[in-house]
């Protein structure tokens, strides 16, 4: 193998190693972002469940439409 071929191969290897390092960094950044989004999603899910429970509790306290609650017919 000639010196020129060795330089070309070394340059290609350096380029691949650089790309790999950037890809590793990008994957780690995406993984961190995904973890934060999962935490936020879990918080929102718990909040939504709490709101739904409160709404159900409030609805059960409200008087329902019964025959006695309806206005009398107008003549």
The total domain count for the chain is 1
Rounded-to-integer distance, Cα 58 and Cα 53, Å: 9
Residue 32 structural domain: 1-40
Q: Is residue 51 in some structural domain? A: no
> What six digits make up the tokens of 39?
């935490």
Q: Does the predicted TM-score (pTM) go above 0.75?
A: no
Residue 69 banded pLDDT, cuts 50, 70, 90: low
Is there a domain that residue 60 lies in?
Answer: no
In a domain, residue 21? The reply is yes
pLDDT per position as a tens digit, 4-46: 999 999 999 999 999 999 999 999 999 999 999 999 999 999 9
Q: Is position 4 within any domain?
A: yes
Residues in the chain: 75
Q: Does residue 32 sit within a domain? A: yes
């Amino acid at each position: 193998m000639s010196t020129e071929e060795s330089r070309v191969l070394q340059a290609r290897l350096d380029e691949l190693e650089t790309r790999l390092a950037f890809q590793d960094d990008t994957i780690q950044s995406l993984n961190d972002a995904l973890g934060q989004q999962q935490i936020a999603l879990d918080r929102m899910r718990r909040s939504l469940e709490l709101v739904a429970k409160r709404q159900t509790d409030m609805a059960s306290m409200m008087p329902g439409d019964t025959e006695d609650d309806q206005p009398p017919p107008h003549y």
